[in-house]
Amino acid sequence: MFFKVAFDTGRIKNFDLPKPPSEPFVGFRVIVEEEGNTGIITDIATEGKKVISTYPDKHPLILPHHISALKELSRFYRVPFTTLLFQLIPSSFIRCKEKIIFPKIKEGLDKKTREVISYIEKRKDYTYEKAVRRYGKGLIDSLIQKGVLGLREEWITREEEERVFSLGTDLKNALSSIKKPEIKRILLKIRGEGKVREEDLIKEGLSRRHINSLLKKGIIVTVKELSEEETDVKPEKKPVRKAKGENYLIWGHFDSVWEYIRAKHEETEGSTLVLSTSKSHLLKIEEEGIPVIRGDLKEKLLKDRWFLAHRGNTLVGGSFPASLLPLEDLNNLIILDDHLPSVKHFKEPHIDIRNLAFLVAKELGSGFSIGSPAPSLESYYLRERGVFKRDISLLKRIRTEVIKRHFNEILTRESINILNEKDATKLIISHKRGYSYMYCEKCQFIAQCPNCGTFLTFFRSKSYTVCTKCRFTEVENRCPDCGHSLRELGIGIEKVMEVIEKRWGIREDIFFDTNAPWSSQFDYVIVVNGENILSVPDYRADEQFYYFLWRCLTTAKKGVIIQSIIDNHPAIESIEKKDPFLFLKRELERRREENLPPFTRMINVKVKGTEEVKLLRDFLKDSSADVKSLRVPEGVRVTIRVNRYHTDLIRNILDFLRKDFRKFASEITVD
Ligand SMILES: [Zn+2]
Ligand SMILES: [Zn+2]
């Protein structure tokens, strides 16, 4: 049969291949000998070259639905769908043939050559390319020519696999067959720990050659990865039925949201997929015995878990590559905490993963839901447009107090009372990192970063002033504008810690952070200050303040105290009334009036300098796009605002940025 096969090089080739082991054929992995690479079947073709190939799997890795979703997404972002596909597929699924370099001669060499040899020897499957990158093509090629180094071709995964060892014979036997005391010591260590990683053995001073010789003698043996459990995967194909999942917005603490999702999965037919970009969410899910697709899983375990999807009726969690899991009976796809920046701008080319998840759910006829501390503005916008049909609030009844704080006050009386309470955990939040801002009495202004304009932060622990955005450092704590010495102003978390520890000492029941961690819980959360979020010149500042407060609210078990120097902010009001829509409704209205996302599209791009900004402005001069630029470290950030319905213009701009302008443009995002 003829197929189109996509490779991670970006190429799509037509081949004449044997029939894949099962249907659907589209989505199968195929190892193509001539290409020295593993590809994915993306379509049926009408002709193709006959090649030697093998199918490593019994079932397709992804479904035709995923390819359709990726194609639609690629039309929106103007990037080839193969780029998106291989950004998402875990790299350990892609095996390729690589040139491996190995030492042939070890005696009578000069110092430099000995250094190269010893470096290569310590590494497993060290590729020719890596060696050239490290030592230069000239040196490596000449060592190959002299016969010092050899080359061989081998199939390897893009990520190196790690070996784990245990003793292969009893200790007495092992020790008697070894002479060198340092190796004896290492054997004792292996015996003591049961299983040891290859990396640790090398750190102990064992070379790869020693390890291989111990293996050959049977003194040590390779064992399964430490955390690896045996999963017996026997996928049984179930008839595909039309899923009836609904689209809902759910908010509350992580535990309540997760509990709801679990219960919902039990009572409905079909599979449930929970996506999150946070490792702590995924580990919590995994602790309950739910299979989770994580980027750091070893190949075998990853493969076992991935193909569980073919069983049907599965509850599975994962980071974003899991959005390509072959779950034919997907009933609901849920994204957790969609406010995290990694959700909106996933890897290069910075796709909003919610778009992909939404398209995948649509293709599979599945429900699409979002679980978070509070609905995001984008979610609310989609709710208004009828995408989300149900609201599920899982807020607990807790004490909520908003207390007016005076400018120089750190702890109000209410907060002090809570801190005095015994047998309760307290989380203290100040959204400001470091000790404080810095003020110049001569300029009468808060010191700003000369590179990017951000307010500078003083870190007492390091005793210098830094820009937290671009890392500009002022060691002598002098004003970057006039050189006058600076003084502290405002409250950072370090200052809060200092004040609390002075009064209560270092205590086990008091915790500090700059943001509430949604997946943990504390009896009380005290927000010392958070209004500095509002001083950032960003149209999303209000929304970020709202989300910051809602994270604090949902992290508290008994009560939350919000100290604030401002009154009457809709975000604070929404906390007092425990109604997120109170804020979202007003904010969406403002965005509409001011012509901001989601009512317009904002294309952000970083260019090298003002010359490039001029070129970009020239390109856009007869269009309806609105262009703004701002100096940032090593370049200029340009924001292009376009009416969201002018899709042709958006496409033209993105094509221009990604093709003709490619050399000058980086960090292209679309809001
Ligand atoms: Zn100054
Ligand atoms: Zn800066």
**Cα-to-centroid distance, 499 and ligand 2 (Å):** 28
- Per-residue pLDDT reduced to its tens digit, 566-591: 988 999 999 999 999 999 999 999 99
pLDDT at site 377: 96
Q: How confident is the model at residue 239 (pLDDT cuts 50, 70, 90)?
A: very low
- Ion ligand 1 contact residues with beta carbon within 5 A: 440, 442-443, 479, 481-482, 484
Give the DSSP letter of residue 237.
Answer: P
Nearest 10 degrees: Cα torsion 589, 595, 599, 600? -160
**Cα-to-centroid distance, 470 and ligand 2 (Å):** 4
Q: With 50 as the cut, is the pLDDT of residue 442 above it?
A: yes
The number of angstroms, rounded, from the C-alpha of 441 to the middle of its chain's C-alpha atoms is: 42
> Of residues 196 and 379, which shows the higher confidence score?
379
**Cα-to-centroid distance, 451 and ligand 1 (Å):** 16
- Per-residue pLDDT reduced to its tens digit, 456-510: 999 988 888 999 888 889 888 899 889 999 998 888 999 998 999 899 888 889 9
Ligand (nearest to CA of 477): 1
Within 423-519, residue ranges assigned H as helices are 493-504
**Cα-to-centroid distance, 125 and ligand 2 (Å):** 41
Ligand (nearest to CA of 479): 1
**Cα-to-centroid distance, 445 and ligand 1 (Å):** 7
**Cα-to-centroid distance, 449 and ligand 2 (Å):** 5
DSSP secondary structure string for all residues of 124-177 = TT-BHHHHHHHH-HHHHHHHHHTTSEEEEEEEEESS----EEEESS-HHHHHHT
Q: With 50 as the cut, is the pLDDT of residue 175 above it?
A: yes
Whole-model pTM above 0.85? no
- Per-residue pLDDT reduced to its tens digit, 362-387: 999 999 999 999 999 999 999 999 99
Cα 237–241–245 angle (5° rounding)?
A: 120
What is the third-level CATH fold of 600-670?
A: Alpha-Beta Plaits (3.30.70)
Sign of the alpha-carbon torsion through 318, 320, 321, 327: positive
**Cα-to-centroid distance, 494 and ligand 2 (Å):** 21
Residue 563 corresponds to which tokens in the numbers above?
């100290």
Question: What Å distances lie between residue 72 and 84, 243, 361, 506, 633, CA to CA?
Answer: 11, 22, 13, 55, 34
What is the third-level CATH fold of 399-432+490-593?
A: Rossmann fold (3.40.50)
Superfamily of domain 248-393: P-loop containing nucleotide triphosphate hydrolases (3.40.50.300)
**Cα-to-centroid distance, 484 and ligand 1 (Å):** 5
- Per-residue pLDDT reduced to its tens digit, 411-435: 999 999 999 998 999 999 999 888 8
Ligand (nearest to CA of 467): 2
